[in-house]
Amino acid sequence: MKKVLIVSTSPRVNSNSEALAKAFARGAQEAGHEAELISLRGRTVNFCRGCFVCQEKLRCVIRDDADEICQKALRADVLVFATPIYYYEMSGQLKTLLDRLNPLFPSEYAFRDVYLLTAAAEDEEHVPQRAVSGLEGWIECFERARLAGSVFMGGVTAAGENPEHPAIEQAFRMGKSILPMP
């Protein structure tokens, strides 16, 4: 059994990217893994101050919800980030969280596989590319980790607009395909 931490970064209730996160969680749970879904909605995640104290202390000096999420990410075997696409990029909420996960860099983090789930009004294949690239840049700082997969739900605007979108099933299958611990 693996610990799977899924972070939904959309500020909207019943968002499309969160629907992907829930489907991924269901798949991971069906495969026998422990899946925890955290939403940033209603949480406080302040900007990184760039002080680098976290590199020495392995904890951020800012005490807000990002610190708790960082401690959970440290122990997770799999990380999953779900984000709406804003202006062809990940949400500011996700980018801010990634910056605040800086204490993980010098730590003995457990995660190896990282997934990205995205949703956007546009439905062209290239729409999530910059968000994927941004996450890949973050992952490059963690030499034992890799981008294990991504799912894109295009052509959705209103929250919960298309519960039958094929990307929902794709996210479910991706969660279900997580392999058990060796």
Q: Express each pLDDT in 133-161 by its tens digit.
A: 999 999 999 999 999 999 999 999 999 88
Q: Could you tell me the domains of the chain? A: 3-176 (3.40.50.360)
Distance of CA 58 to the CA centre of its chain: 21
At a CB cut-off of 8 Å and minimum separation 6, what does 83 contact?
A: 9, 10, 17, 90, 91, 93, 94, 116, 117, 118, 119, 131
Residue-wise pLDDT tens digits, 4-33: 999 999 999 999 999 999 999 999 999 999
Tokens of 147: 């981008």
pLDDT at 180: 86
Q: How far apart are CA 10 and CA 18, in angstroms?
A: 7
